Amino acid sequence: MAAKAGAAASFIFMLFLLNIACQAQLSPAFYDSSCPNALSAIRTAIRSAIAGDRRMAASLIRLHFHDCFVQGCDASILLDETSSIQSEKTALGNLNSARGYNVIEKAKTEVEKICPGVVSCADIIAVAARDASSYVGGPSYAVKLGRRDSTTASRTLANAELPAFFESLESLISRFQKKGLTARDMVALSGSHTLGQAQCFTFRERIYNDSNIDAGFASTRRRRCPRVGSDATLAPLDLVTPNSFDNNYFKNLMRNKGLLQSDQVLFNGGSTDSIVSEYSRNPARFKSDFGSAMIKMGDIGLLTGSAGQIRRTCSVVN
């Protein structure tokens, strides 16, 4: 009995050491010797995509978020449907909404030309999100590297784990907490709604039925988002400067001009009001917290060491 317990204890200890060893492999210098030009190749591909379509910066940041929240940051979001893979691309939060798959595939193709089979799609998504942020005026930060790609995806998990625009503050906080992120991280990350667009169906309820909304703002948004129809018509998440990464998003919230219900709940008399007001006064603090929170988000549920694989094409397993 004692011998069994001892064996179990040493097995658990081995797992613990293995875990530390895997964690230790994530480092900004991971490809320094195996593919020294990987980061510049990715940056070139990302910059050229955003130069041609400014909104792509927003889409790439969101893609990293939607990857990390489902099975961890393992590029599962990029896998296409097959007989054995349930693609996440058709999950509620992604269908006709997530963008940038081809941009990541293009960056991957460029990287494969210089070092085949070395750089994971999961790392490319993480680097692309950082490059997107810095290109449009957001923070740059050192992305830790060494993630590996999954051989599976899960639409079921994507439907269950991606937050929805109608959720309460408590529910959102608890979702982020389950991923190891604090309410402060969540507010900072939501600040990326300083960029990009949302479809009419995601804010219709808010502009017709909510009371915590600026009347002028609601009536402007109603013009292009009728009670019925035009579901996919877009409106900027930050009404002032949707193409640059600044702290206007937080200033909007303080004037009841958040577009989504899940935006306005961050400033609606609850526990995160003080964080929103801090970021509205202190853009430098917002940017530095955003960078730290992105690094933290990039650590969710990693495959490292010999787990998973380095996909040759991001949309299919090898």
Element (H, E) at 235: strand 234-236
What span, in angstroms and rounded, lies between the C-alpha atoms of 101 and 315? 8
Backbone angles phi, psi at 203, to 5 degrees: -125, 5
**Least distance (Å) between residue 105 CB and ligand HEM:** 17
**Least distance (Å) between residue 186 CB and ligand HEM:** 6
Within 220-259, the residues that bind ligand HEM by CB under 6 A are 237
Helix residue spans in the chain (DSSP H): 2-24, 38-52, 56-68, 101-114, 121-135, 155-161, 169-178, 183-190, 200-209, 215-224, 248-254, 261-264, 273-281, 283-297
Q: Which of 55, 64, 66, 221 is catalytic?
A: 66
Within 98-117, the residues that bind ligand HEM by CB under 6 A are 99
**Least distance (Å) between residue 65 CB and ligand HEM:** 4
* Helices 273-281 & 183-190 angle (0-180, nearest 10): 50
Binding of ligand HEM by 62 (CB under 6 A): yes
Contacting ligand HEM (CB under 6 A), which of 165, 245, 250, 286? 165
194 annotated as a binding-site residue: yes
Number of neighbouring beta carbons within 10 Å of residue 117? 13
Binding of ligand HEM by 295 (CB under 6 A): no
Choose between 35 and 258: whose C-beta lies nearer to ligand HEM.
258
What span, in angstroms and rounded, lies between the C-alpha atoms of 256 and 218? 10
Choose between 98 and 111: whose C-beta lies nearer to ligand HEM.
98
163 annotated as a binding-site residue: yes
66 is catalytic: yes
Contact 122, 73 (CB under 8 A): yes
Q: Which has the closest alpha carbon to 106: 88, 121, 126?
A: 121
Q: Which residues are annotated as a binding site for Ca(2+)?
A: 67, 70, 72, 74, 76, 88, 194, 238, 241, 246
Binding footprint of ligand HEM on the chain (CB under 6 A): 55, 58-59, 61-62, 65, 97, 99, 163-165, 172, 186, 189-190, 192-193, 195-199, 202, 237, 260, 262
Could you list the active site residues? 66
